Structure 1
Amino acid sequence: MHPMNDSPMKHIEDMLTAALEAGRDRLHEHEVYALLRLLGFRTPEAIFVEKARELEKADLAAFAGGRVVCKLISEEMPHRFEHGGIRFSEPDRETLLRIYGDFEGIAAAHGIPFRGMLIAEMIEGSDCVPRQLLLSLRQDPSFGPVVFMGLGGVGTEIYTRGLKDDGALFIRAAGDAPDTEGTGRALERSFFYPIVTGRTRIFSEPLIDGGKLIDAVKSLAELGDYFSFASRSTVTIEELEINPLQITDRGDIVPLDALMKISRSAPERIHPPQSGIGRLLEPKTVLIIGASANKINTGRIILRNIIKGGRIGRENIYLLHPEAKEIEGCRAYPSIDDIPVRADMAVFTIPAGERAAELLERIIDGGKAYAVTIISGGFGETENGKELSSRLDTAIVKGRAKMGGGVVVNGPNCLGIVSRPGGYNTFFLPEYKLPFIGRYGERCAFISQSGAYLVTLVSNIT
């Protein structure tokens, strides 16, 4: 493995673009081999034969003295083994021509296009566990590019199913992979890594230097990051799977089978701007929508909690109210347009409905807040709510396309945020019910789908 730079990446991008322009969303295996070589992997010697007549002039000298693996190439049959699309042979033309004809017949029988045959050298090494690994890259809509590693070969699913969830697969976000020490520690928690690197009594000597596996993970992570939804590239690598990744008798790793799926598709959700997340967690100014002037409602409780926190002064708290001029010593304004600042964070507590949807659209589109926490429920739970939720999603996506990336949105139907770094609490619980005065949890972050669970947990540690 070697660190990549823009030169091989540009070459890779040209390869991927050519495939897309040819109407393909998958690379053929010999193309994936070429890509992997650019990443620094050793791959089997191989030639691709599109037409049978090409075998008559094919240079087979590289395979002299050994056997070869013949592979049926079709984008509609990525897993060929069980269909007879993998054959082992001596590298003589007559036998290879016969296998080519067999592959044509298999493709025809399955009603799939036949693109040709790949002839690859056989790599020395046992096909038994744990000498074959799985190495995979996928784009996750929430986390971006993610790298997986685990036991490989034809029994991958069986091995994974039979192991504990926390040890069957190594999983790491591409953004964390450059941390060599952290990636190494994460690999050590997997089932396979201690075995192949000689950390157990199963083998007297390591099968491979662990650094080679770490480098392989880092190479795939860098590739995935460069061709991710959020990257500057016009091409996205949606999936790259190497299975098996063979550990050879010499302690090297060689990709034997590989498939890749690519696209120009945009993500369903674009990541929010990180600057907005910072303002959400440590706001200097706050806008509250929904605090009552004459009763204690959800918005009023949140207003009191923020004031009580002491970090955000009343002069930096702005309220939206149709009549009141002041609530709890904080200025109130009758219209969104009257708010004199773009608040770091808005807290929205008006129940879901047409007015709420219009206000949220104006806040998101009109640049009155960098981040919004929507406490209100009713977005999505009913038929009318689903329409309101769709409007909210549309406004968010529209905002993402603007300069600066739009508004960060937390919610709807959420309990809110308690941020010790920001010195505020938007939980709609009075302080006497849930005081945040304990000495525990200062270096912890809790994220929960259940508000009741989160309140119970926080109550136990504070």
Structure 2
Amino acid sequence: MNDRTSINPGAALNAATGELFRQAAGQGREALDRDELERFVASFGAALAEGVAGGVDLRITLENTREFGMVLTAGMGGLDGALDRTNFRKDRAAVSAAVELTDAADFLRLFRRTLAYQKMAVAAERAGRRPADPVLEFCFGLMLGLGHEYSAQNPQAEFVIRHLELDAVQFAKKPTVGAACVEFAKPAAARLPRPAYKIDKLIHPQSIGIVGVSASGMNFGRIILKNLMGSGYAKEKLTIIRPGETEIDGVRCVESLRALPAKLDLLIVAVPSDAVYELVDEIIETDAVESVMLIPGGLGETAKSREPAAALAARINAAHGKPGGGPIFLGANCLGVVSHPGGYDSWFIPLERLPKPQKKAERNSVMLSQSGAFMITRISQNPWLDPRYMLALGNQTDLTHGDMLGFFADRPEIETIGVYIEGFKDGDGLDFARAVRKAVVNGKQVVVYKSGRTEAGAGGVMGHTASIAGDPVLFDAVLRQAGAIVAEDFAAFDDLFYIAGALHHKQVGKRLGAISGAGFEAVGMADSIATETFSLETGQLEPATVARVQEILAAKRLDALVEVRNPIDINPGADDDTHLKITEAFLDDPNIDAVVVGLDPTAPSIRGLETSKLRAGYDLSDPQGTVHIYPPLAAKSDKPVIGIVDGGSLYDAMAARMMDQGMCVFRNCSRGTKALARYVEARLETDAIRERAK
């Protein structure tokens, strides 16, 4: 349809609409013809009264996506909508949401962020007409109704909408559409659900078997065995499956899976990839294990291996239809698992290469990653992340991101979940989005980074874990709407995962207090308060706070050098106590929701060095120093306190000592303030999701 067709006001989705689809499907066609499209548009009514401003072209689409199922998108239409969406800031050109996780009112809330809505609002105001919100909400509701009715997730659907697009839609005296298209398809069979409850056996195994341990050399299987024992897992709970041997490194051996004296909770497979296919068939046939970890790479990552790897996945899937659900499989191309409660480390990286001292009094986070190396580098560089569990998913031959996140979303001891994703299996994006929403409603925070954001990156993803990268813009939109905190790069992931864990129990708000002894740092904090879609505000200090800070400065003989404001530069002459007292004053101000404080380690008045040659004892050992007085303040405050230690390696110990006590510390003001802004934006959104779920 290229001519503008009026949409009949008041008409609603009815049996005639479904009949259009059923008739075309019965004829074996994949789309409606022109006449059918016109009849469909005519049936797509809107509750429209005169007085709504028009003149703004919209594009509204339903798309049956590979990863997320049915997705609703709305934004600028016509020529404006044809512009590359990357030319606009996030949420400005269009917004998207998984149909299953939104409703008309919620989607309208998202749509208000777009330029299209803002143009409509300005046009209505200038014309003295009412806003178009009721009409838009009605329209979105009808589209969502179609999305639910003709979705692959609807088991009663005779067909599914593949793509529905209304372009150059306007709302004036009558709603009109300039162009429309509808395509549909037959429902496709989905994978059987995995018995995800068996993940508990995977992470808390009472018995572990290993296939692929060398009796004479140090291969991956032998390294895994050493790591299991080195992490404290009892030898008597281990079994090696290796014919011709009775024991290796003091661990008993058996001839085969059939020779096992009892069913294993976990079997670790560390054999060459070409031996996996036959072994998996034996695992399924014998039903000798509850969970399996497939270490080998190469399955599905090369053109030659994709077909046999797909057949392997199909056999594993079929086993889930048997009584008991069959075993679950983690991997392939899987680094392994570190489970502190389970008492084991199955990574094939020698323990000496990655020290893992406990950094939290109570480990309360999880890291899930398709890439094991991603986890290794994150923990090596950021030991304060200190997850309770770390699991590498690899190729997702069986267990998926959605399975794993859904399992941990229900664990009461888990507060923060960090996820690295290269790609989703078909439909798993929706499962993952559902799991994000469940985790958020259960009071948790989910931080996600997805690689493959460029064409070159997507190619690298396919070669690494046999994943299809998918659309990064759609990924970002759908998962943010589900409640995830989506990072744009590795550094942002590190910062957001860290700050989410550190501030989980704090109250949050938009009003920032910024304190520093360096002018550039105070300005840098103020310059870093905005994200693409959100901004903190510098809170207006109460007169009583201003007077209190002036008294502190006068007592320290700094009042002639400092003007009390927010942000405040309190001068390099301010000592540890001055920083602390001004921070306390800001925290007590009802107009301040969080404080970012530059702790000025290089200033001569700060006890920032491990040992001071100039002033003996004026160092980190002094109980009056920042590392002793700030962590208790940060711990007792209901508001977030972010410490900034901007200095080189001389001040690593200062930062580490505060972080070891649970205080949130960043090494420059821009990174710390940006992380806080991103975190507050996400927390306010997740708080609203929880409120709507009540």
Q: Classify the TM-score, shorter chain.
A: 0.5 to 0.7
The letter of the residue matching 2:30 is D
State the partner residue of 2:183. 261
RMSD across aligned positions (CA)? 4.8
State the partner residue of 2:294. 374
What do the CA deviations read for 1:55-108 (whole angstroms, capped 9, x no partner)?
xxxxxxxxxxxxxxxxxxxxxxxxxxxxxxxxxxxxxxxxxxxxxxxxxxxxxx
State the partner residue of 2:273. 352
Q: Structure 1 residues 377 and 240 mapped into 2: Cα distance closer, same or farther (>3 Å)?
A: closer
Alignment of 1:202-217 (within 5 A): 207-209=131-133, 213=136
Q: Structure 1 residues 442 and 179 mapped into 2: Cα distance closer, same or farther (>3 Å)?
A: farther
CA distance in 2, matches of 1:367, 1:317: 18
State the partner residue of 1:455. 376
Selected match of 1:42 from 21, 26, 46: 46
Shift of 1:359: 0.3
State the partner residue of 1:74. none
Q: Structure 1 residues 446 and 304 mapped into 2: Cα distance closer, same or farther (>3 Å)?
A: same
CA distance in 2, matches of 1:398, 1:204: 63
Q: Structure 1 residues 149 and 460 mapped into 2: Cα distance closer, same or farther (>3 Å)?
A: farther
What do the CA deviations read for 1:245-278 (whole angstroms, capped 9, x no partner)?
735247x9766643222222525x6364262674
Selected match of 2:25 from 17, 20, 39: 20
SS of the aligned residue for 2:82 comes to helix
Q: Structure 1 residues 36 and 295 mapped into 2: Cα distance closer, same or farther (>3 Å)?
A: farther
What do the CA deviations read for 1:341-383 (whole angstroms, capped 9, x no partner)?
6655543221112x32200233245544555432202334567
Q: Structure 1 residues 414 and 376 mapped into 2: Cα distance closer, same or farther (>3 Å)?
A: same
Shift of 1:459: 1.9
CA distance in 1, matches of 2:38, 2:328: 41
What do the CA deviations read for 1:171-206 (whole angstroms, capped 9, x no partner)?
32333225966x5675566554555567xx999988
State the partner residue of 1:176. 101
State the partner residue of 2:487. none
Shift of 1:15: 5.0
Shift of 1:12: 6.4
State the partner residue of 2:223. 301
Q: TM-score, normalised by structure 1?
A: 0.60
- What is the percent sequence identity of the aligned residues? 24
CA distance in 2, matches of 1:212, 1:307: 65
State the partner residue of 2:71. 146
State the partner residue of 2:147. 224
CA distance in 1, matches of 2:77, 2:170: 11
CA distance in 2, matches of 1:213, 1:421: 50
Alignment of 1:194-209 (within 5 A): 196=120, 207-209=131-133
C-alpha contact 2:32 2:182 (8 A) present in aligned 1: yes
State the partner residue of 1:248. 171
CA distance in 2, matches of 1:326, 1:271: 39
SS of the aligned residue for 1:27 comes to coil
* Larger CA deviation: 426-435 vs 340-349: 340-349
The letter of the residue matching 1:429 is I
The letter of the residue matching 2:60 is L
SS of the aligned residue for 1:148 comes to strand
* Larger CA deviation: 437-446 vs 21-30: 437-446
The letter of the residue matching 2:21 is L
CA distance in 1, matches of 2:37, 2:290: 43
Higher relative contact order (CA 8 A, sep 6+): 1
Q: Structure 1 residues 271 and 15 mapped into 2: Cα distance closer, same or farther (>3 Å)?
A: farther
SS of the aligned residue for 1:158 comes to coil
C-alpha contact 2:212 2:221 (8 A) present in aligned 1: yes
CA distance in 2, matches of 1:219, 1:238: 14
Q: Structure 1 residues 424 and 184 mapped into 2: Cα distance closer, same or farther (>3 Å)?
A: farther
The letter of the residue matching 1:246 is V
CA distance in 1, matches of 2:324, 2:15: 27
CA distance in 2, matches of 1:193, 1:460: 44
The letter of the residue matching 2:255 is P
Q: Structure 1 residues 292 and 197 mapped into 2: Cα distance closer, same or farther (>3 Å)?
A: farther
Shift of 1:456: 1.6
Figure out how many residues of one structure are paired with residues of the other and give that number.
366
C-alpha contact 2:161 2:184 (8 A) present in aligned 1: yes
Alignment of 1:378-389 (within 5 A): 378-380=298-300, 385-386=305-306, 388-389=308-309
State the partner residue of 1:321. 242
State the partner residue of 1:431. 351
Q: TM-score, normalised by structure 2?
A: 0.43
Q: Structure 1 residues 284 and 149 mapped into 2: Cα distance closer, same or farther (>3 Å)?
A: farther
Q: Structure 1 residues 10 and 248 mapped into 2: Cα distance closer, same or farther (>3 Å)?
A: closer
C-alpha contact 1:153 1:243 (8 A) present in aligned 2: no
Alignment of 1:49-198 (within 5 A): 126-127=54-55, 131-158=56-83, 160-164=85-89, 167-178=92-103, 187=111, 192-193=116-117, 196=120
CA distance in 2, matches of 1:9, 1:28: 19
CA distance in 1, matches of 2:135, 2:293: 45
Q: Structure 1 residues 245 and 391 mapped into 2: Cα distance closer, same or farther (>3 Å)?
A: same
Shift of 1:133: 2.2
SS of the aligned residue for 1:145 comes to strand
The letter of the residue matching 2:31 is R
Q: Structure 1 residues 176 and 382 mapped into 2: Cα distance closer, same or farther (>3 Å)?
A: closer
SS of the aligned residue for 2:273 comes to coil
CA distance in 2, matches of 1:410, 1:418: 13
Shift of 1:442: 4.5
CA distance in 2, matches of 1:195, 1:225: 30
Shift of 1:228: 3.6
SS of the aligned residue for 2:61 comes to strand
Q: Structure 1 residues 249 and 344 mapped into 2: Cα distance closer, same or farther (>3 Å)?
A: farther
The letter of the residue matching 2:24 is A
